[in-house]
Amino acid sequence: MIPRPGRRARYVAVKAAYGGGTFGGLAGVTVALLATEAKLARKTIGQPTEKAPLAAGSYGKGRRGDKPLHLAIIGDSAAAGLGCERADQTPGALLAGGIARDLRRRVDLDVLAVTGARSADLEVQVARALRRPVDAAVIVIGANDVTHRVPPAAAAHDLARAVRTLRAADCVVIVGTCPDLGTVKPVMQPLRTVAARWSRRLAAAQTVAVVEAGGIAVSLGDLLARDFHELPHLWSADRFHPSPDGYARIVDVLLPSVLESTGVDHPVSVPISDRVQDLAVAADVAAHESGVEVEVLTGDGAPGRLARLRRRLPLVGRGAPEGPTDPAELTQDEPEPMR
């Protein structure tokens, strides 16, 4: 029996916890040992003392007379770009520049993401973003929910509320789901196994919550983990946040969904597979595989029960993203005051 839509995120989280190799399977590991490992990991990683470079502003030129696209970046330190040295290396700048390049349209970027944010903090960020009309929002959230042991169903509920609020304002919403924290180098066993399972539980619950609220979920999963040992430059000095090269890989995965949702009129990426699954199945698959996009199907069938599960190649080789717009051009675009 498939749970009612309002309960499906909780259902997926519980199923992930108790099905297959489970959290309960770690019964032989004492709570004291896990707590010690967590303290060691936090000590190794340390507390962030820097802020992400501020990337807010206008990107690209676009065509004269076209209305700029307003993009909002919402979430935690991974959304803000902590670990980058320059604003143009952050996810917001790369996404805004990529949209400006491929849509040939100026993009006005707002970055509302806050280091340390959890899903419960999204409501404030969304309210700030909606002080003016928003065309598209990209949310990356979840790592701090895992590290603070927020129940996946509760975190997914908070995320769904944020997505619904944005969708009610006619905003396209793309969510990069929780990455696999079991791949972070300073986290040792057995805490690494616990973090991996908790991350996947949250990612699966997030996927269900996002698509039922009208957004698009893109799995980040172990996107950087597979290359960590061979390509350590993908991680910043704290070995917890990505480096500029790592963020560029994340953007390569997110950008195709953003472009298609905002109206690009040419193919942006090569689909590897495209099939329809029950939403709970699609969410579980996406939680284990990076780069998978899940979007609810509407029309034929039961809305909210079937989802499109799409795998495609990351978006690469399209040239450099557009840079910040010349302030002089922005001045020219402003209407002259009435005399």
Per residue in 69-80, pLDDT tens? 999 999 999 999
224: left (phi over 0), alpha (psi -120 to 50) or beta: alpha
How many beta carbons lie within 10 A of that of residue 179, not counting itself? Answer: 26
The reply to whether 241 belongs to the active site is yes
State residue 179 phi and psi, 5-degree precision. Answer: -70, 165
36 Cβ neighbours under 8 A, 6+ residues apart: none
Is 238 tagged catalytic? yes
Q: 92-146: per-residue pLDDT in tens? A: 999 999 999 988 899 999 999 999 899 999 999 999 999 999 999 999 999 889 8
Residue 308 burial class via C-beta count within 10 angstroms: exposed 0-12, middle 13-18, buried 19 and up = middle
CATH classification of 8-17+30-45+54-268 is 3.40.50.1110, yes or no? yes
Give the separation between CA 75 and CA 78, rounded to whole angstroms.
8
CA 189 vs CA 16, 67, 136, 183: distances in Å: 20, 52, 39, 11
Q: For 225-275, what is each residue's pLDDT tens digit?
A: 565 556 666 555 555 567 788 888 889 889 988 998 888 766 666 666 677
H or E element at residue 213: none
Q: Is the peptide bond preceding residue 133 cis, with omega within 30 degrees of 0?
A: no
Q: How far apart are CA 74 and CA 255, in angstroms?
A: 15
Higher-confidence residue: 317 or 327? 327
Catalytic, 157? Answer no
Domain locations along the chain: 8-17+30-45+54-268
3-state secondary structure of 274: strand
Other residues' Cβ atoms within 10 Å of the Cβ of residue 175: 32
Q: Which of 102, 108, 222, 238 is an active site residue?
A: 238
Which residue of the set 58, 77, 269, 290 is catalytic? Answer: 77
Name the residue type at position 100: A
* Active-site pick, 241, 243, 257, 284: 241
Distance separating alpha carbons of residues 144 and 94, to the nearest angstrom = 23
Q: Is 56 exposed, middle or buried (0-12, 13-18, 19+ CB in 10 A)?
A: middle
Q: Is the confidence at residue 38, as pLDDT, over 80? A: no
Instruction: Please give the structure tokens belonging to residue 332.
Output: 């020219």
